[in-house]
């Protein structure tokens, strides 16, 4: 057995298209929550105060996720087949944010608030 450490240990590789998908999903969620909140404040579809809070929380989370991605990944000038090697702690942060977004969307869908593209 070798005493050398695996250089990949403690890191996670993400393909550029995976990173782009995270950016697109965050942007889409920001847009959709903006629309839901706009509909509420213009009286088109008025929500209860808890639902407004939940939509606003999801909007803030999507914005924080987009900001985190922007700080972690630089897409400009990288080839389409680029692979990003990130620390496992960064990968864990991404997973936690994706899961929190999923939970928020699930909660809203129980109350028939759809954030899907219409």
Question: What confidence score (pLDDT) does residue 47 get?
Answer: 96
Give the residue ranges of the chain where pLDDT is below 50: 1-5
Output the pLDDT for position 77.
86
Q: Spell 28-49 as b/e; 16+ CB within 10 A means b.
A: ebbebbeebeeebeeeeeebee
Instruction: Say how many domains are in the chain.
Output: 1
Domain that holds residue 48: 14-110
Give the end-to-end CA distance of the chain in Å, rounded to a whole number.
57
Helices (H), the chain: 16-41, 49-72, 88-110
In a domain, 67, yes or no: yes
115 domain residue, yes or no: no
Question: What pLDDT does residue 70 have?
Answer: 94
CA 69, CA 53: separation in Å to the nearest integer? 24
Nearest-10 Cα torsion for 100, 54, 41, 70: -20
- Domain for residue 118, yes or no? no
Measure the CA–CA gap between 68 and 90, rounded to whole angstroms.
9
Q: What is the pTM of this model?
A: 0.86
**In this structure, is residue 30 part of a structural domain?**
yes
């Amino acid at each position: 057995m070798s005493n050398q450490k695996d250089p990949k240990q403690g890191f996670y590789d993400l393909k550029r298209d995976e990173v782009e998908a995270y950016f697109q999903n965050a942007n889409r969620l920001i847009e959709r929550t903006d629309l839901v909140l706009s509909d509420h404040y213009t009286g088109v579809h008025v929500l209860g105060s808890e639902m407004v809070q939940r939509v606003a929380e999801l909007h803030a989370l999507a914005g924080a996720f987009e900001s985190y991605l922007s700080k972690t990944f630089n897409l400009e000038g990288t080839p389409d087949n680029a692979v990003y090697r990130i620390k496992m702690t960064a990968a864990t942060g991404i997973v936690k944010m994706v899961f929190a977004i999923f939970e928020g969307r699930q909660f809203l869908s129980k109350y028939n608030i759809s954030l899907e593209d219409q």
